[in-house]
């Protein structure tokens, strides 16, 4: 049975059986003190606003039987999948791969690479480890979605203008309809969050739709 989600620039009707929730990079390295986000000079507490809305939509997606996909950005311990342009940029207090309070920064298998406990994947949920900002680049995400005939993505996570935006743009080019759950996304730079959401829904929804967690939960309740 199709459901309709209130969104901008217009409501969107979709079939929950061909929809997936994609939660982008809700990792300790980005959200907690001492991780990669803080080494770049950011106030990581600004991302906390997305946690409760993400949890609400996650609970609703699980209850409705949606495919749930979690992503994690990080690299192999030998950094073979991290290009020099990424490793050397800026002047962080500690670079990718350096030791930190949650293990080596942004390295797969380290505590900081883990998804925060409040949003921990349940048994059977898909976890995509990605080396870049977009969730499709150098990952199996495209195949995972194709195998399940997924057409619509509900997207949330951090940060709005970087990994969320890149993933939505990648998905849009691949023909997916993307609904970004605005209050379940966050940025270290609030004006970038606002601009990122505005760009997605501009020009008749050039990259997709923008909704909120309350509207998404209400729509998914109708799928039960």
Return the active site residues.
Answer: 25, 130, 163
User: How far from 164 is each of 80, 93, 128, 200, CA to CA, in Å?
Assistant: 24, 25, 14, 11
**Cβ atoms < 10 Å from Cβ of 83:** 11
Sign of CA dihedral 80, 107, 183, 47: negative
Q: Where are the alpha helices (DSSP H) in the chain?
A: 28-31, 36-39, 51-64, 84-87, 141-147, 165-173, 190-205, 213-221
């Amino acid at each position: 049975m199709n459901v309709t989600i209130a969104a901008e620039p217009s409501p969107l009707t979709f079939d929950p059986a061909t929809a997936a929730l994609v939660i982008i990079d809700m990792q300790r390295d980005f959200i907690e003190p001492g991780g990669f986000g803080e080494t770049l000079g950011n106030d990581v507490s600004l991302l906390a606003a997305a946690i409760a809305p993400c949890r609400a939509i996650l609970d609703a997606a699980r209850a409705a039987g949606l495919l749930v996909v979690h992503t994690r950005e990080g690299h192999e311990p030998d950094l073979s999948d991290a290009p020099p342009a990424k490793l050397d940029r800026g002047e962080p207090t500690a670079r990718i791969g350096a030791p930190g309070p949650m293990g080596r920064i942004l390295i797969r298998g380290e505590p900081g690479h883990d998804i925060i406990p409040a949003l921990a994947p349940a048994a059977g949920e898909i976890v995509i480890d990605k080396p870049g900002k977009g969730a499709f680049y150098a990952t199996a995400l495209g195949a995972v979605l194709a195998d399940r005939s997924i057409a619509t993505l509900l997207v949330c996570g951090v940060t709005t203008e970087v990994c969320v935006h890149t993933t939505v743009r990648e998905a849009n080019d691949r023909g997916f309809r993307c609904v970004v759950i605005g209050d379940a996304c966050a940025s270290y730079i609030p004006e970038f969050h606002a601009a990122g959401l505005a760009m997605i829904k501009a020009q008749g929804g050039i990259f997709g739709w923008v909704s909120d967690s309350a509207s998404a939960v209400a729509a998914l309740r109708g799928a039960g």
